[in-house]
Homo-oligomer: A and B are copies of this chain.
């Protein structure tokens, strides 16, 4: 089993290109493998080795390797390296060659190739705790739906706009909260994710750029890339998106639209202050760029006063607002909605019908019953209390266990805290060791758009019990402290990374 010759990996990567370096590297290696220059079982150089040879950041090489693994071209073996596995031979004669038909995969991996494993403290998923689901209230809501005289209508083919009783309920609520302007309409979608996807589908033309927060959650990056968009990142600080930077980008890059998470952004937890909301609207209006306000987390505020939505502040009708039941109630039921100007909603409804006819009606009816019966309000109150405890436990444990020099956001709600470890630590390199000790998180680079923060990581706390949060962060703090000591002693990191 010979190792691949390093000379084959000395491509002329273009540091000026808009194509990220990791993707250039991925494509270069994938082409070599696909064109049969290497055979199954050959070993790739270690990430550290290749990074040094090419003068690249090691995270860049790791990201390219992750993509190769996702594409089924290589496989990693812990402690032994990565080996060529896939598509080095043509399929058997006479069988259909799908690999030749499918375009090279444009989507970066959303996590390490080996997955995150189980473990006692997995800060990986931004979702509520299973133990908090109000199962009896859910059952009661289902029973009420099963007893409805229009049950047969719920089971029949429905409208692309959504189940009309739920749609009326949501429109009325949006009107009461001044979230719907007089000319607005509302479309029910399979969660916020589909609303974002439909918006991308109706607005994007080939080559268009979309402005997003940087870092931003992987699901948004992936859906925009899948729709052929170029991404431009606006840095997010403790106070949300940097609006001054945004103004520059809007003028320079003329993005087709802007996606902003006003409250408790994923992954940082940051919330945009009122003045920034107004400034953002002014900048977007001046540049004639529409604003997509993703507010999946807005109802999960644990402290402080709620701020008006960008949609509420917008008098020009340039904003469209996305909300969802998923974060507050049951994520397995895929129901969200989008409120905005009628011309856009009309087009989104057409795209929705073409995409999947309509959103599942059983879940729409159950969630309507859950909301109208008052059970949603009662559940939200419990979720706010549980979330506040979990957030407090997280911030307290970060302060207690993470070494000096570590910085982290202090959100007032949502499900995520963003941690920046002191230099020169790389959160991606620490992860395997943390996982061995039962702690998992998502390294910052999976959320990166235009800038890399190797020391960053996301802690999703909402799904964990406060005890798990404390014990997990105690372990992580110890590992970080040991790595800092090791790094300052000039030794190699303990975890043999490939």
Interface of A toward B, CB cutoff 8 Å = 72, 91, 94-99, 101-103, 105, 107, 125, 127, 130-131, 133, 135, 138-139, 142-143, 146, 151-158, 189-191, 193-194, 197, 201-203, 205-206, 219, 222-223, 226, 285, 288, 290, 315-318, 326, 330-334, 341, 343-344, 346-347, 350-351, 353-363, 366
Contacts and interface: CB of A to CB of B under 8 A. Distances in A.
A324 to B, nearest CB: 11
Contact of A332 (B72, B105, B156, B315): B156
Given A155-B133, A201-B226, A333 B360 contact: yes
Contact of A155 (B94, B318, B332): B332
A107 B146 CA distance: 37
Given A95-B317, A190-B190, A362-B332, A355 B354 contact: no
A360 B285 CA distance: 37
Contact of A142 (B135, B142, B222, B330): B142
B203 A206 contact: no
Contacts of A91: 317
Nearest to A224: B354
Contact of A152 (B130, B334, B347): B130
B357 A360 contact: no
Contacts of A343: 72, 98-99, 102
A260 B290 CA distance: 40
Contacts of A151: 135, 138
A363 B362 CA distance: 7
Nearest to A331: B157
As for how many copies of this chain the complex holds, the number is 2
23 contacts: A94-B315, A96-B317, A98-B343, A101-B290, A102-B203, A102-B347, A127-B157, A131-B152, A138-B155, A153-B332, A155-B330, A155-B333, A193-B356, A219-B353, A222-B353, A332-B361, A333-B360, A334-B358, A355-B355, A360-B360, A360-B362, A362-B363, A362-B366
A154 B138 CA distance: 12
Contact of A95 (B105, B201, B316, B326): B316
A135 B203 CA distance: 41
A139 B151 CA distance: 10
Contact of A197 (B223, B344, B354): B354
A107 B354 CA distance: 10
Contacts of A96: 285, 288, 290, 316-318, 341
Contact of A331 (B138, B156, B203, B315): B156
Nearest to A145: B142
B359 A334 contact: yes
A453 B316 CA distance: 47
A438 B230 CA distance: 52
A344 to B, nearest CB: 5
A187 to B, nearest CB: 13
Among A95, A103, A222, A354, residue most surrounded by chain B Cβ atoms (within 10 Å)? A354
> What 7 pairs between A and B have smallest CB-CB spacing?
A96-B318, A332-B361, A190-B356, A157-B331, A194-B356, A360-B360, A155-B330
A97 B153 CA distance: 38
A390 to B, nearest CB: 16
A153 to B, nearest CB: 7
Contacts of A125: 157
A76 to B, nearest CB: 18
Contacts of A219: 353-354, 357
A155 B362 CA distance: 13
Among A152, A332, A333, residue most surrounded by chain B Cβ atoms (within 10 Å)? A332
A135 B156 CA distance: 12
Contact of A72 (B72, B102, B156, B346): B346
Nearest to A110: B353
A358 B332 CA distance: 8
Contact of A341 (B98, B206, B290): B98
A333 B356 contact: no
Nearest to A359: B334
B344 A357 contact: no
